[in-house]
Structure 1
Amino acid sequence: MERLRAASWEGVIGIDELVAQGVPERTAYRRTQEDGPWQLLAPATFLLSNGEPTYRQLEIAALVYAGEGAVITGIGGARHHGIRAGDDPSTVHVLIDEPRRVLSTSRIIVERTRRLPRPVTRDGLAVAPLVRCLTDGTRRIKDLAVIAAVLSEAVRRRMALAAALRRELDAGCRKGSAAPRRVLQAVDDGVWSAAEYEAREFWKAWDDLPEIEWNVRICDEAGRFLAIADGVVRELGFVWQIDSVEHHFATPEQVEETLAYQRRLRAAGLHVLSTRPAQLRGDATGLHADVLDALATAALLPSPRVRYEPPRTTT
């Protein structure tokens, strides 16, 4: 058994290697039967234990099963590049060269492509470049807010350019590309998170709301930094703060920083409206009325004593 484990890749091994190690094919499959010591992770791809495989073992199994030249992509691949946003994947998405024929399984998505990327090694695995991982992954996600979380993280952290993502969408499969294209427009407008994407969609849905800018840097008259405002209507001195739990209320320190942020802006003469993401989803009409009231109040106040810097460029 030690010899087999040494020949495996972290406990994962293909049937050809098992046979080469002296295990008859019939014996290998018999050991995967109910209550057997091994299990099949994919056709002809074995795990030398019967416990729940780790996600890494599934990734290895996908590469072993898909064969020569296979590359991990999608959100799982993006994780290896350091992307944290989005739900952890339950399946492994791999790319193979278009002429080859390998079927997908319940836990492994095998996609044939004429544009097989040159892999990079991440955590000892063959992984597609980040831009390809992101576009392949988001083409398969239905929730626009999740797509926004993933793409905006990559752009905000300067891990990928929005222009490079658009070029990859243009060059690749068009199926499923409409949603990430739509989200990239929001990212171009300065949106940095899923909550801000939902806020932007809400704002655009009402014809009576003025133009708003996203993630604008605000300084006082002397040029001292005050804050980066989620949304700003400059001509009215109005700031819209999206109070997502992740960024504002996850810890006592974040709560205090959020309150200090509001005090700094109000002391400079800006009018601040705070909104929870739940209001965007559950009470659009009521929130619309709140926004109109806040805008009207802001219009009555003296001009704020601040300087604005342009929204961050993402292209």
Structure 2
Amino acid sequence: MTHNTPLSPRPLSHLTEAAQRRVMTLRALREHGVSAAVVNERCRPGGPWQLLLPGVCLLHPGPPTSDERLHAVLLYAGGDSPQIPAQHGALSRGAARPGPSSVSGPPVVVPVPAAGHCATAAQTADAMITGLAALTLHGFTGAPSLRALDRIDVLVPRVRRLRSTGCVHVVRGQQLPEPVEITGLPVAPVVRALADTVAQLTDAGVVRRLLVEAVRGGHCEATAIVRELTQARLLGRPHVVDAVDTLLAEGRALAEGLLYDMVFRYRLPEPCWNVDLRLPGGTHLGGVDAYWPEQAVAVELDTRVPRQDEDARWCEYARKREALEGLGITVVHVTPAKLRASLEQQAAIVRTALMTAVEREPAEYVRVLPR
């Protein structure tokens, strides 16, 4: 079957029998030959359809499933509708099959697209699920279930003329991120969904739990979260600042755990952990996360985040590295993201630095003290 194969007419009632999403915009219904009078008749109290959102119709009488609510929100925000699915589609996970239609009268006939050419709500342009609903879709255990959410946040461009209504809460953004597709839906990436969620929360405990879960669950790095919160101008709120401090401590602890795992899993020599390096005269050179005195190799975790004192922190970091390398000490710079993405590769870099120590000039003697 090709794209040019003509569409065959079927009664619209097949949607109540097919295991597919049954949400359409009024515009799409008109394009399929369903008049406004027919829509009004079917959406009357006790009828087989219902007007779920302005311009968005639910083609069965029962309460919408969570999946149908999400699709309705996207259709309302995007102003478009997927085509009616083929009759033999697979059942959406968690969707309930409604009862038979109670409307009498002639059946409504609409064209049904051929299998393989059905659009989905994920194709809705310039709209994506964000906020708590997005975090739930990303698998956050600290986010409520979709069914428990009274409203669903949808991210749209700032220039869109759209208002919040019903279960829809419109969030506007100057620049929209690239959405992530989850169960066929366009969903904001974790860092953006977190920022949009935090912007609406006042409970420091809830904010802290969500931020920590994002890092502990491997969804994203602490630095990426802080960068997004900074861009959203949320770091001026005291409860957010407190949560970020907890987040950074959690992120560093997880990165240190990965560093320990790297050393032991790939059988690197045991280093001196978390030490300060000083010259014999007492001059402080700085702290490092791991140090091999015999090979004069140091590993430093870079957990810096983009904050107001970034320039000063970078200057201090550069000064320390320059001082250590001037004494003949090899400094291996790693980030939590590098450790998470490729632990074996980072272990190979450290092993190479240890093995090539004999080929370098001997380093200056330094004192190694616990920090």
- Structure 2 length-normalised TM: 0.49
Alignment of 1:237-256 (within 5 A): none
> Corresponding residue for 2:132?
75
> Corresponding residue for 2:36?
25
Would the aligned equivalents of 1:70 and 1:126 in 2 still touch at CA under 8 Å?
yes
Would the aligned equivalents of 2:16 and 2:60 in 1 still touch at CA under 8 Å?
no
Would the aligned equivalents of 1:188 and 1:314 in 2 still touch at CA under 8 Å?
no
Would the aligned equivalents of 2:22 and 2:58 in 1 still touch at CA under 8 Å?
yes
Residue 38 of structure 1 aligns to which amino acid in structure 2?
Answer: W
> Corresponding residue for 1:63?
74
Would the aligned equivalents of 1:59 and 1:92 in 2 still touch at CA under 8 Å?
yes
Residue 130 of structure 1 aligns to which amino acid in structure 2?
Answer: V
Q: Name the SS for the 1:93 alignment partner.
A: strand
Residue 71 of structure 1 aligns to which amino acid in structure 2?
Answer: M
> Corresponding residue for 1:170?
230
> Corresponding residue for 2:245?
185
Rounded to whole Å, the distance in 2 between the matches of 1:9 and 1:99 is 33
* 2:144 is aligned with 1:87: yes
Calculate percent identity across the aligned residue pairs: 33
Rounded to whole Å, the distance in 1 between the matches of 2:219 and 2:237 is 20
* 2:113 is aligned with 1:102: no
Rounded to whole Å, the distance in 2 between the matches of 1:81 and 1:27 is 39
Alignment of 1:121-200 (within 5 A): 121-172=181-232, 174=234, 178-190=238-250
Encode CA deviations 1:106-146: one digit per residue, 9 max, x unaligned: 20111121121111111110011111111111221222212
Would the aligned equivalents of 1:139 and 1:177 in 2 still touch at CA under 8 Å?
no
Rounded to whole Å, the distance in 2 between the matches of 1:45 and 1:175 is 38
Rounded to whole Å, the distance in 2 between the matches of 1:129 and 1:106 is 24
Would the aligned equivalents of 2:136 and 2:143 in 1 still touch at CA under 8 Å?
no
Q: Name the SS for the 2:27 alignment partner.
A: helix
Identify the structure with the greater helix proportion: 1
Q: Name the SS for the 1:187 alignment partner.
A: helix
Q: Name the SS for the 1:190 alignment partner.
A: helix
> Corresponding residue for 1:37?
48
| Alpha carbons of structure 1 residues 22 and 172: separation in structure 2 relative to 1, 3 Å | same
Would the aligned equivalents of 2:194 and 2:211 in 1 still touch at CA under 8 Å?
yes
Q: Alpha carbon RMSD of aligned pairs, Å?
A: 3.2
> Corresponding residue for 2:22?
11
Once the two structures are TM-superposed, the CA of residue 7 in structure 1 deviates from its matched residue by 11
Once the two structures are TM-superposed, the CA of residue 175 in structure 1 deviates from its matched residue by 9.5
Once the two structures are TM-superposed, the CA of residue 180 in structure 1 deviates from its matched residue by 3.1
Long gaps (5+) in structure 2:
1-11, 79-124, 258-334, 338-371
Once the two structures are TM-superposed, the CA of residue 47 in structure 1 deviates from its matched residue by 0.7
Q: Name the SS for the 2:250 alignment partner.
A: coil
Q: Which has the larger radius of gyration?
A: 2
Would the aligned equivalents of 1:7 and 1:13 in 2 still touch at CA under 8 Å?
no
- Structure 1 length-normalised TM: 0.57
Rounded to whole Å, the distance in 2 between the matches of 1:105 and 1:114 is 21
